[in-house]
Amino acid sequence: MCGIAGYVGKRNAMVVLYDMLKRLEYRGYDSAGIAVIAENEIVFVKDRGKVSNLKKRILNMKISSNIGIAHTRWATHGIPSSKNAHPHSDCSGEITIVHNGIIENYRELKQELIERGHKFTSETDTEVIPHLIEELYKRNRDIESAFVSAIKKLRGSFAIAVINKHDDKILIARRESPLIVGLGNGENFIASDMPAILPNTKRIIILNDFEYGIISKDSVVIRDLTSQEIIEKEIQRIELSLEEAEKGGYRHFMLKEIFEEPDAIRNALRSIDDIKRISEKLKRYERIYFVACGTASYAALYAKYLLERFGIPSEAIIGSEFRYSTVNVINDKCAVVLISQSGETVDTIASAREAKRRKAYVVSVVNVVGSSLTRISDDTIYIFSGPEIAVASTKAYIGQLTSLALLCLNLAFNLRKIDDDYINEMIHSIEKLPEKVEDVLKKREEIENLAKKLKDRRIFFYIGRRFNYPTALEGALKIKEISYVHAEAYPAGEMKHGPLALLEKGVTVIAIKPNDDIMEKMESNIEEARARNADVIVVSEDGDIRVPVVDPILSPILYIVPLHLLAYYISTIKGLDPDKPRNLAKSVTVE
C-alpha cells in the first residue's frame, strides 16, 4: 500500500508520473516505480528507496510515451526491494498493475495460478492480480471483461490501476481504498491522493467502493462493478492548497492519523491468521515477556494485564531496562514479544538480539514491513496501520492494542483459559470497535471546547486502574509530548501515596472510568481528588467525556481516542506544531 499515480494524455508520461510521485512522498514509502507504454511495449523503472533514485534513469531513457502508471510502496507483503516494488506484470508482459490495499485471498489465488503455469517474480500479494487478469484475458482477448472478472475474485481492500500494452486506456477499480480521477484538457490523471493531481487540475471525480473506470485521454467512463452499468458521476472542484491536500484536508498529520484510528483496528484484524499461528506456538512457553519503548510500552503493559486476567504469567518491561536486567533470566523456556511501530527502535532491537542469544522465542509486533526488528524475530505480527507521519504515535498505538488483544485472546483460548463462546464474542466486539471509535471522533468539537478551557493549565494527572492504567500513561505522554505541560500518570489507588499532596485548585485530573467490577473504587479515587479542589474530568460512559459501551477488557482501545484528541487540541490552541514536537524524533535509533 501507499501512493498510486496514473496519466494518459499528450505529455511525456514518464516525466508527469515522476512529478506525481514526488507529490506523494509525504505519505512515507520504501520503494517506488513507474511503468509506461512505449512502442507497444511496457517500459519499467523502479527501485528501493527514494523517488529521486529514479530520476537519473528516467533522464537517460530515450522513449516517447503518453500513458503510464506509477506507485510508491509501503511494504505489507514482502520486504522493501526492487523486485517487490510496483508496478507488477503478468507472464506475457502485456498487463501491468499498481495496487494499494491488501488481497486477503492472494495465497489461494497464487497457488491456483502456479498450478496453471504462471511464474511469479515477487513476494507481494499484488502480483496475483496481473496474472489473474492474464488468465482470464486469454479466453476472449477482452481486457475490460477480464479486468472485471478478476476484480470480482479478489477478497480484501484495493485501489487498482492497470495498463495493457495493446491499449491506450487505464482501467481502475476501488474497494475500501481511495482513488481519484483528475480531469484535464486532452489528458486525464489518476491518483490515490489529491496532492498528486492538484498542480495539474482542480476538477476531480471520486471513485466509490465497487466502481471501476475506463480512462483515456479524452474520456472517463465509470461503471458499477456488479451490474457494469454506467454511473453518472459528479465532477467536484477542489479548492484545497497542496499542503492541505497532503494532510487529507486536516490541519495536521496527527489529526489525520487520529481519524484513521478506526481503520487501524480493521487493518490489525487482517493479521488474524498469523496471530492464531503464533499464539499456538506461544502456549509452549512458561513465561511471556512484552518488551517495548515509549508509547508501545503501554501497549505491552496492556497485554500483560490481559494475560494475567486469564491466569497466564507474563511481564511487561521497558526495552532500555530489559537488556540490562531482565535479560539475565531469559532462556529457552521464555517467549519475548517486542513491540515497535518502526521496527527500528534501538533498545527494542538490542533486547531482541539478547533474547535470541539466550534461545528465547522472539516475536515482533511491527508496522513497517522488512524493518530491522522483523529480520531478527522468529515470527512477526504486522499491524498494517500504514505510514504514520506525526512524531507522536496515535493510530499505530491503536493497531498495537488491537493486535495484542487478539494475540492474548487466542493464547488464552489455546491454553483452555476461555471457551469458544467467549473468544467469538470478544472478536465480534473487536470487529464492532471501529464504529465506536467513529462515534467518539464525532465529539471532536466538544473535546476541542474542553481543550480551550484547559489550554493554560500547567499540571495534569491521569489516573486509571488495571487495563486503563496504560491508557492513563499514554494520555499523559501525549499531552507532555505535544503540549509541553507537566503530566503524570498513576494507578488511581496510588494517588494517596504522594500525589494527593499536589492536588489543589488549578490542577487537572483526567480519570478513566470504565464500567467494570472496580468502578466503585475508581469513583472513590475521583472523590478524593475533588475533595482537594482539583478539576476532575471523567472519561466514561456517562462522564464529562462520554464514550460508547464497551467490554472492559477492550476499553483501552476506545478510551484512549478522546485523550489523543484532547492532547492534539490543547497543542494547537497553544499555537504549537503537534506533528513535530521539540527535541523528539519519530524513530529513536540511538541509545
What total number of domains does the chain contain?
2
Mutual orientation of helices 555-573 and 395-414 as an angle, nearest 10°?
170
Q: Stretch 216-220: mean pLDDT, rounded? A: 96
- The whole-angstrom separation of Cα 543 and Cα 532 is 20
Q: Is 408 a catalytic residue?
A: no
Claim to verify: residue 236 and residue 262 sit in the same structural domain: no
Claim to verify: residue 321 and residue 396 sit in the same structural domain: yes
Q: Would 590 be classed as within a structural domain?
A: no
DSSP 208: P
Claim to verify: residue 386 and residue 479 sit in the same structural domain: yes
Q: Which of 161-165, 391-395, 493-497, 512-516 has the lowest mean pLDDT?
A: 493-497
Q: Is 442 a catalytic residue?
A: no
- The whole-angstrom separation of Cα 283 and Cα 312 is 10
Q: Stretch 480-484: mean pLDDT, rounded? A: 95
**pLDDT digit string (tens) for 290-304?**
999 999 999 999 999
What percent of the chain clears pLDDT 90, i.e. is strictly above it? 70
Claim to verify: residue 229 and residue 266 sit in the same structural domain: no
Claim to verify: residue 187 and residue 276 sit in the same structural domain: no
Contact present, 212 and 147 (Cβ < 8 Å): yes
Claim to verify: residue 459 and residue 560 sit in the same structural domain: yes
Cα 140 from chain centre = 40
- CATH classification of the domain holding 16: 3.60.20.10
pLDDT reading at 504 higher than 90: no
pLDDT reading at 588 higher than 70: no
Closest CA to 69 of 121, 118, 131, 130: 130
pLDDT reading at 88 higher than 70: yes
- The whole-angstrom separation of Cα 157 and Cα 429 is 21
Q: Would 585 be classed as within a structural domain?
A: no
Q: Would 587 be classed as within a structural domain?
A: no
Query: pLDDT band at 1, cuts 50/70/90?
Result: low
- The whole-angstrom separation of Cα 109 and Cα 114 is 9
- Say what the pLDDT of residue 407 is: 98
Q: Stretch 553-573: mean pLDDT, rounded? A: 98
Q: Stretch 320-324: mean pLDDT, rounded? A: 88
pLDDT reading at 530 higher than 50: yes
Q: Which of 215-229, 231-245, 506-520, 560-574 has the lowest mean pLDDT?
A: 231-245
**pLDDT digit string (tens) for 90-149?**
999 999 999 998 898 999 999 999 999 999 999 888 999 999 999 999 888 899 999 999
* Long-range contacts at 349-356 (CB < 8 A, ≥ 24 apart): 349/373, 349/376, 350/319, 350/323, 350/591, 351/291, 351/319, 351/322, 351/323, 351/327, 352/291, 352/376, 352/377, 354/322, 354/323, 354/327, 354/330, 355/289, 355/291, 355/327, 355/330
**Catalytically annotated residue among 276, 417, 521, 586:** 586
Q: Would 160 be classed as within a structural domain?
A: yes
Claim to verify: residue 41 and residue 70 sit in the same structural domain: yes
Claim to verify: residue 335 and residue 481 sit in the same structural domain: yes
- Say what the pLDDT of residue 27 is: 66
- Say what the pLDDT of residue 589 is: 44
pLDDT reading at 158 higher than 80: yes
Q: Would 65 be classed as within a structural domain?
A: yes
Claim to verify: residue 190 and residue 236 sit in the same structural domain: yes
- The whole-angstrom separation of Cα 86 and Cα 83 is 8
Q: Would 312 be classed as within a structural domain?
A: yes
Query: pLDDT band at 279, cuts 50/70/90?
Result: very high
pLDDT reading at 365 higher than 60: yes
Q: Would 191 be classed as within a structural domain?
A: yes
Claim to verify: residue 73 and residue 213 sit in the same structural domain: yes
Mutual orientation of helices 295-309 and 395-414 as an angle, nearest 10°?
20
- Say what the pLDDT of residue 392 is: 92
Specify the pTM.
0.76
Q: Would 480 be classed as within a structural domain?
A: yes
- The whole-angstrom separation of Cα 573 and Cα 487 is 18
Name 112's Cβ contacts closer than 8 Å, sequence gap at least 6.
none
**Could you say which of 245, 272, 301 is where a domain stops?**
245
Claim to verify: residue 204 and residue 275 sit in the same structural domain: no
Claim to verify: residue 335 and residue 451 sit in the same structural domain: yes
- The whole-angstrom separation of Cα 519 and Cα 500 is 20
- The whole-angstrom separation of Cα 131 and Cα 475 is 47
- Say what the pLDDT of residue 501 is: 82
- CATH classification of the domain holding 370: 3.40.50.10490
Cα 79 from chain centre = 17
**pLDDT digit string (tens) for 533-550?**
889 999 999 999 999 999
**Catalytically annotated residue among 2, 293, 334, 408:** 2
Structural domain boundaries enclosing 134: 2-245
- The whole-angstrom separation of Cα 203 and Cα 194 is 11
**Could you say which of 185, 211, 245 is where a domain stops?**
245
**pLDDT digit string (tens) for 249-275?**
889 999 999 999 999 999 999 999 999
